[in-house]
Amino acid sequence: MFEIEFMSSIVIKDLRVAIGEKEIIRGLDLEFSKGEIHAVMGPNGSGKSTLAKVMAGHPDYQVTGGDILLDDESILEMEPDERSRKGLFMAFQYPMEIPGVSNANFLRAAIQAKLPEGEELDATDFYQRLYEKMDLLDIRREFTARSVNEGFSGGEKKRNEILQLAMLEPAFAVLDETDSGLDIDALKVVAKGVNKLRGPNIGILLITHYQRLLNYIIPDYVHVMYEGQIVRSGTKDLALELESKGYDWLKTEREESGGPLAATPAQATA
């Protein structure tokens, strides 16, 4: 049982990403393993959401350099659905509405898609699990029949993302600004859901602008992202430091050092 000392992980190596002619991520390194929660914080425009979308394989972004490895395998050539089936989940900052498709049917289709060919999802088990997770997230039963995210409030959409996360049981989850637009009560519900899920079987990357979320979901590591790079990493104390200092010091620091970014050839080659 214990002979394999393999730590399942996502490794991002010197990642460079552009949208159109503009380079957004400029040589980013980050690594996180199952069982860990990492927070990525940073000011607006630092490339946080781009990082999430690139990991999930959004077609609008071009990876111009570096790699993303999931358990030592590059996922860059994989379609978004293949990445998903490999165990990568992304909670969207702006979840999409799918009119006419019920939440229950959507989840069933998604879970079914992960099963080996020829294997059918057991409906009774499915609903039992679904109701369990819904209770955990304070979601009412009639929710199952409503269309995916259609007419949902901001809070309902975010809770739905966490419900999908709970049902799909991925190995890795990237939560893109899940706290944005949530009032404190909704935030607590979402945090409760994530805390219930955390454990040795999942690695979580929390992307957030505010420290507030980290009061409820305590991360193991905190990274600061600025102008497309991770410029500092530390423990949860780093988040508190950011809270008191704001993000302005990043700018100052960069200007003082002459800035490694000023020297990047990105704009020149673009």
Partner 1 sequence: MSTETNTIDIDRDIGNFYYDVAAKKDAGVGLTEKTIDYIVEAKQEPDWIREFRHNAYRVFNSKPLPTHWASRELEIIDFDKIRYYLAAGDAPKRTWEEVPEDIKRTFERLGIPESERKFLAGVEAQFDSEAVYSNIKKAVADQGVVFMTSTEALKQRPDLFRKWFGKVIPTGDNKFSALNSAVFSGGSFIYVPPGVKVKHPLQAYFRINAENFGQFERTLIIADEGSEVMYMEGCTAPKFTTATLHSAVVELVALPGAKIQYITVQNWSPNVFNLVTKRGLAHEEAEIKWIDCNIGSRLTMKYPGVVLKGRKARGEVISIALAGDGQHQDTGAKMIHAANETTSNIVSKSISIGKGRATYRGLVHVPKHLKHCKNNTECDALLINAHSRTDTYPAITVRGTGNAAQHEASVSQISAEQIFYMQQRGLTEGQAMSLAVNGFVNDLVRQFPMEYSVELKRLIDLEMEGSVG
Catalog residues that contact partner 1 under the rule CB under 8 A.
56-59, 79-81, 83-85, 89-90, 92, 95-101, 105-106, 109-111, 113-114, 147, 164, 168
Cβ closer to partner 1: 109 or 218? 109
Cβ closer to partner 1: 26 or 48? 48
CB of 236 to partner 1, least distance (A): 28
CB of 94 to partner 1, least distance (A): 8
Cβ closer to partner 1: 7 or 145? 145
CB of 57 to partner 1, least distance (A): 8
CB of 178 to partner 1, least distance (A): 14
CB of 59 to partner 1, least distance (A): 5
CB of 132 to partner 1, least distance (A): 19
Cβ closer to partner 1: 67 or 79? 79
Cβ closer to partner 1: 202 or 224? 202
As a whole number of angstroms, the distance between CA 158 and CA 156 comes to: 5
Helix runs in the chain, H state only: 48-56, 80-85, 103-114, 123-136, 154-168, 184-197, 212-216, 236-245, 248-257, 266-269
Residues 6 or more apart whose CB falls under 8 angstroms from that of 50 comprise 17, 19, 24, 25, 61, 228
As a whole number of Å, the end-to-end CA separation of the chain is 51
Please tell me what DSSP assigns to residue 34.
Answer: T
Q: Is residue 172 within 8 Å of 10, Cβ to Cβ?
A: yes
Residues 6 or more apart whose CB falls under 8 angstroms from that of 44 comprise 209
Cβ closer to partner 1: 25 or 90? 90
Instruction: Please state whether beta strands 9-19 and 22-33 pair in parallel, antiparallel, or not at all (unpaired).
Output: antiparallel
